[in-house]
Each structure stands twice: as structure tokens, then as C-alpha cells.
Amino acid sequence: MHFVIMGCGRVGSTLAHILEAQGHTVAVIDSNDAAFRRLGSGFTGKRINGIGFDRDTLREAGIEDAHAFAAVSSGDNSNILAARVARETFGVDNVVARIYDPGRAEVYQRLGIPTVATVRWTADQIIRRLLPHGSEPEFRDPTGTMQLSQVAVDSGWVGERISRLEEAAGARVAFVTRLGEGLLPRPDTVLQDGDLVHVVMRAADAESVEQVFRKRPEES
């Protein structure tokens, strides 16, 4: 598959190397020719010096044959504009834009443009490690109605069926991370010590679901 990346900073160059190592073709666009030094001599893809939302530049990068487009430059406006051109002009379905402003990111998510708000994402990751009972969302649907969160579970649930935990909380356990690997729970799956529980729930119910998970089974 062919991928087009706008922005040859640390994120863009890392993405380019990962995708190429997986056997894909990659074109990287950047307005600063010196930025391509990050790719190194081993990179065999295209280096396109130009503006990432310019149609001719995108065509030169092979956007018409691209499976996906990633806008990861340092400018929010440029990333969103490029993502919209890739999707609306060239019909690329798999598009993502990096955004620094979390408020702006949520707006574009609701418009159907997948975004990664880097500052908020980093803060959320830290919060999940600082707060033992934190349930900062790992994912929100574009409407903001549903969310996927890793929720801390009281040790009293260890040895209980996950289905019982779901029933008590009124939420769905999407998957469990066990010994570093993802596990899809079955009706008879039992919670083990050290499991990380990832829950799908209504955003409005997050606090009540978290409270159930904090309590022991006999208290729920």
C-alpha cells in the first residue's frame, strides 16, 4: 500500500520508517528541504519539497493512489486543511491529522476528521499513571457520546467473572490486557491479578461506572 505523510519532523520521519519497514511505499512532504535529513540515507521513498495541502504537491506524492494520508506538521491549520483536501478532493478514506489544540481537535472529530491531539494525549497518558483510579478516555466517538477507558478495578474482583463486573457496572468490557497481550473476554472469562480492564461506556456514565469498579463485589 502507498502512504503519504505531510511533515518530516520526528513523528513524520518515524511513521515513514515504520511503514517502509512493513513493506509499504511512502512519500513524505515538507516545505523545509533540510527536514528530510531525518529520514536518513536508508529511506527509499519519495521526498517531496512543497506545501502539503497544495493539490499539485499531493499529486506528485501519489495521493491519487494512496491508501492513507497523515498530516503531522507543526501547524494545526495546515494539518486540518491538508487532511480535508486529501479526503474531500482526492477521496482518501484513511486520513488523520495531528492537532495541538485539544478543543479544536474535538471540533474536527465531530466533522469526521480523525485527529490526534498530542498535548492532551500525552497528558491523558500521564494522568492514567499518576492516578490509580483514573479513567481518562483512550477513545471517544465523534459525537462524544461513547468512550473507551482503562478503568482501575478493586482487587476484590480478582477471581470473579468479568460478566458479573459488566452487569454490576452496566458497561461493556471491550478487552483486557493480560501479561502485555490483549484478550477478548468470553462469558466465562475470570478476572486475574494484574489485568488491565478497558471499558466501553457512555461518557455520561463514566463516574458511576468507575465507582462500581472501585468497590468490592459485595458492595456493588
Tell me the per-residue pLDDT of 71-102, one tens digit each, with 9 for 90 and over: 999 888 899 999 999 999 999 988 988 888 87
Same domain, residue pair 90 and 181: no
What are the grid coordinates assigned to 62, written together?
501519489
CA distance 105 to 97: 9
Q: 33 and 115 share a domain?
A: yes
pLDDT for residue 104: 73
Q: Which of the listed residues 67, 99, 122 is the one where a domain comes to its end?
A: 122
pLDDT value of position 139 = 82
pLDDT tier at 144 (50, 70, 90 boundaries)?
confident
What is the domain extent for residue 176?
Answer: 131-219
Given 122, 141, 171, the domain boundary residue is: 122
Rounded to an integer, what distance in angstroms lies between the CA atom of residue 30 and that of residue 11? 13
Q: How many helices (H) and strands (E) does the chain have?
A: 7, 11
Q: What is the mean pLDDT of residues 136-155?
A: 82
Are 138 and 196 contained in the same domain? yes
- Rounded to two decimals, the pTM is 0.62
* Whether residue 11 sits in one domain with residue 98: yes
CB 195 within 8 A of CB 136: no
Domain with residue 143: its CATH number is 3.30.70.1450
What are φ and ψ of residue 200, in 5° steps?
A: -95, 130
The DSSP element (H or E) to which 108 belongs, if any, is: helix 102-110
Tell me, what's the pLDDT at 199?
A: 94
Is residue 66 within 8 A of residue 4, CB to CB? The reply is yes
Band the pLDDT of 130: cuts 50, 70, 90.
low
* SS3 (DSSP) at 161: strand
* pLDDT tens by residue, 27-72: 999 999 999 999 998 999 999 999 999 999 999 999 999 999 999 9
Same domain, 142 and 41: no
Indicate which CATH number applies to the domain containing 115: 3.40.50.720
Burial 33-58 (b: 16+ CB within 10 A, else e): eebbebbeeebebbbbbbbbbeeebb
The number of domains in the chain is: 2
Residue 87, SS3 per DSSP:
helix
